[in-house]
Amino acid sequence: MVFKKCSCFALENLAAEIHRLRSIKQETQEHNAQRQTKRQRISEMTEFLDIQSGIIAEYDDKLTRQLIDQITVFDDKLTIEFKSGVEIEVEM
């Protein structure tokens, strides 16, 4: 087997590229895991809403606690963060 001589510069570039690609792969895997978690939460929220009977005509504390993670009140709007990760703004 014959090996060609590679310069240290070429090897360093190759090592840097391998490191960069591993970093991108790690970030992509983390992003995909977060997306999967969000999809699961949305699915659970949809299932919960599907089993609710009829039209919601009054405040339901159980339903609110099941669906909403946080509400932030500003001077001119509300920001509602659902447990599914979905966020909406309501102008006042």
- Per-residue pLDDT tens over the stretch 31-88: 999 999 888 888 888 887 788 777 778 888 888 888 899 999 999 999 999 888 889 9
Longest Cα separation, the chain: 80
Q: Are 73 and 36 in contact (CB under 8 A)?
A: no
- Confidence band (pLDDT; 50, 70, 90) for 3? low
- Confidence band (pLDDT; 50, 70, 90) for 6? low
**How many CB atoms lie under 10 A from the CB of residue 84?**
19
Q: Are 90 and 78 in contact (CB under 8 A)?
A: yes
- Give 21's strand partners: none
Calculate the dihedral angle through the C-alpha atoms of 26, 32, 37, 38, rounding to the nearest 10 degrees. Answer: 130
